[in-house]
Amino acid sequence: KTFTQAIDRTVNNLIGLVGDKPIDTYSRQDANLLRDHLTDRALNSATVKKHLNSLRTIVNFANRECGLKDINSFAGMHFGDDEPYEDSRRQPIPLPIIRSVQMECHEHNDEARWLIALISDTGMRLSEAAGLIEDDLGLDNEYPHIALKAHPWRRLKTRGSERIVPLAGEALWAARQAQKTGQSQFLFPRYCNESACKSNSASAALNKWLSPRVSDGCVIHSFRHSIRDRLRAVECPQDIMDKLGGWAVGGVGESYGNGYPVEVLFKWMSRGV
């Protein structure tokens, strides 16, 4: 839904400015008008580029599928001098702050705090955690874990996102607390049901609570950056880090076999948290 809304917004900006034309009749002048219009709205250059690149992708798709001539109106556009470099990468949350947040999660001991604690010691994406159901849990296993997979109400970001997520530290506590409620099949029914996973509203609510407790610029997604650093600190092999976090892995060899057994993944996650 979020992706569709962003693309519709981009296309509507173009149509509203220069009209709804046959796709192969949009000119470089039309593209430049849109670029200047977006820039005049004080959007930063990265956002403007994203809008124009989306249109270029749409046009290229139409070229291929409809056998049109090459349309270069949105290709190789000039965006002026780059803005001064600013490191806008999401910053990890320092470990002492993570421990403090986790202590408060225990004190509140409610659905929102279980979700935060689960993410804090797994590095799961918010939508991945919020969309879990009881059947995804393997808490009675010798190595407690989540069998993360796609559901009709919540897709996964990539194919590699489907994975085993070991539960150690406060993540195991949070999963057990969520399971004990038994209100429905959903672990976090406030944020997910059969119709949709409400990750945007969950993000707003959780970040509002987190904001005064974490460093400037840190949000719920920062736990995902933190878990990567915590695994690096215990010298976890990179391919295992990638498996634990659902990050892209490279090499033909990754497609061979069944991957790491749960006990190996659990060992490294336990060391990291």
* Residue 1 pLDDT > 60: yes
- The pTM is what? 0.79
- Phi, psi dihedral angles at 114 (to 5 degrees): -65, -40
- What does the block give as tokens for 138? 């393997």
Position 258 confidence tier, pLDDT thresholds 50, 70, 90: confident
Please check the confidence at residue 211 and state whether its pLDDT lies above 80.
Answer: yes
Which residues lie closer than 8 Å to 109 by C-beta, 6 or more apart? 177
Q: What is the DSSP letter of 216?
A: T
Residue 144: pLDDT over 70: yes
Mean pLDDT of the chain: 90
Token pair belonging to 26? 């949009």
What is the token pair recorded at 189? 């029914």
* Residue percentage of the chain with pLDDT more than 70: 95
Question: Once rounded to an integer, what is the mean pLDDT over residues 152-162?
Answer: 90
Q: What amino acid is encoded at 160 in this protein?
A: G
Judge whether residue 119 has pLDDT over 60.
yes
In the β-sheet with 163-166, what is the strand arrangement from edge to edge? Answer: 137-138, 145-148, 163-166
Residue 2 has pLDDT above 80, yes or no: no
Determine what percent of the chain falls in helix, strand and coil, rounding each to the nearest 5.
55, 5, 40
DSSP codes joined into one string, 36-71? HHHHHTT--HHHHHHHHHHHHHHHHHHHHHHTPPP-
pLDDT bin (cut points 50, 70, 90) of residue 36 is very high
Q: What is the pLDDT at residue 202?
A: 94
Backbone dihedral region of 91: left (phi > 0), alpha (psi from -120 to 50 degrees) or beta? beta
- Residue 138 pLDDT greater than 60, yes or no: yes
Nearest of 139, 217, 145 to residue 177 by alpha carbon: 139
What is the mean pLDDT of the segment spanning 9-32?
93
CA dist., res. 113 & res. 93, Å (int)? 17
Max alpha carbon distance in the chain (Å)? Answer: 64
**Nearest C-alpha neighbor of 175 from the set 147, 206, 152:** 147
* Over residues 105-122, mean pLDDT: 97
pLDDT of residue 85: 47
Helix (H) or strand (E) holding 145: strand 145-148
Angstrom distance (rounded) from CA 174 to CA 102: 10
Task: Tell me how far apart the alpha carbons of residues 234 and 224 are, in angstroms, rounded to a whole number.
Answer: 16
